[in-house]
Amino acid sequence: MRHARRRVVRRVTRLAAVGGLLLGATMVTRAVASEPPAPAPVPYAASEEDTGPGSALVARLGASRTAGSWLGEDGRTVVAVTDERAAAEVREAGADPKTVRHSMRDLKSATKTLGSAPRVPGTAWAMDYRSNEVVVRGDSTVSADDWSDLTRAAKGAGDFVRMERTEGTFTTRINGAEPILSTAGRCSAGFNVTDGTSEFILTAGHCGPDGSVWFADDGGRKKVGTTVGGSFPGDDYSLIEYDGGRAGEGAGVVSVGNGQGVRITGVGDPTVGQRVFRSGSTSGLRDGEVTALNATVNYPEGTVSGLIETNVCAEPGDSGGPMFSEGIALGVTSGGSGDCRQAGGTTFFQPVTKALAQLKVDLLVAPEAGGDADTAAPAPSAGAAAAPDAASPGSPAAGINASTLLSRLADPRNVGPGMLVIGGSLMALVATRWIRAEQDRKAYQRYYSATWS
């Protein structure tokens, strides 16, 4: 009976050890095989001039014969021109011309005059291509005397400068997609980028100076990273280097709320009239239209130029969050006026393309659905514009279900535990073999003694 029990114990031990070997091997092989591939970096290699479907045509015709381009309601490219010969060339190229009085050279001259006037916080201006005007806005903080002084400067710039008062205040939206917090305030993560060695969050520059430490929780226990560079005022972008140097799984996805995400597959510049989407930790996913490019805003902290102007709403806490369309990264939230509960107001964005070029980093992108992760997605082509009302944020990103056994086994962190399981199983097999050998030796000794005693 005792020998039978021993045989059962040995067999159970061997089976457990073999099972442990198989489990450990599965943990290691699946963890290695499923370790998420590094998102493909997409460099930006375009000029800093106005871009969009009609940009090449505008550049070819010149600043004295054109005054910008935009998307019409049907999605066709419209180019503002100053003479009939330019209009004919636009039609020949497949776009729609619109004859206007003032050229791009006139519009730029007016903005230069406004920029040389005494700075008035709470004001902003931009070139409105569709109305062929420069629009100057003043918020509720601008005094009557300052507004009068700026109005006189505008009259000197030309009769095509339009003055507008706006409700609310032009402020940086300090306080994306995911909230990040530091002693400097609360902001949102924009897009993930890389310099080829480390990975970073691209966010707004006004969120905090170099050395600001960021966390994902109010208690300061989940450290995200540290601000290592940026520009504000003048521009409005900064880099937060990840603690540990890596963004992790889902680096090419932006959150749009309710556990959902959108794949970011490229980088580009918007065009006037384009439908765009913005995601923020305060107000979630919102959409609107690009109303102007190269806008200038006089925030209380300083002047920022070269911004994208939109009618997308935003609220404090959305600052630094991503703006995109059709999966193409376009900007990070800078500031504006209004809110998402009433009129909406105006929101400005730092162009991603300029930030990438100045910081010498590349955007990390997600693979297309069913695609290969190491295939770099190109920027949108000039002819790929959709009608504004037909645009979408981009392709949804499937959520990660970490509760299944398979995903737990496939966790890259299981490589070490898997090796321990394999080692323990081998030791168990060796031990059972040694125990059996010892038992056989003692049994032989007993048999020998009984036979020859």
Out of 128, 206, 279, 395, which one is annotated catalytic? 206
In order of 51, 71, 94, 298, 379, the CA distances from 54 in angstroms are: 7, 9, 10, 29, 15
Separation of alpha carbons 284 and 315, rounded Å: 10
Strands (E), 176-271: 179-182, 185-188, 191-194, 199-203, 213-215, 223-231, 237-242, 253-257, 260-263, 266-267
Out of 50, 139, 236, 318, which one is annotated catalytic? 236
Give DSSP secondary structure letters for 241-254.
Answer: EETTS---TTTTEE
CA angle 107, 110, 115 (to 5 degrees): 125
Residue 236 annotated among the catalytic residues of the structure:
yes
User: First and final CA of the chain: distance in angstroms?
Assistant: 26
Residue 3 annotated among the catalytic residues of the structure:
no
Separation of alpha carbons 353 and 335, rounded Å: 18
Residue 319 annotated among the catalytic residues of the structure:
yes
Q: How many CB atoms within 10 Å of residue 88? A: 12
Query: What are residue 83's phi and psi, to 5 degrees?
Result: -145, 165
Out of 188, 319, 325, 337, which one is annotated catalytic? 319
Q: How many CB atoms within 10 Å of residue 107? A: 27
Angle between helix axes 415-452 and 2-34 (nearest 10 degrees) is: 160
Position of tokens 């040995």?
10
Which residues are known to be catalytic? Answer: 206, 236, 319
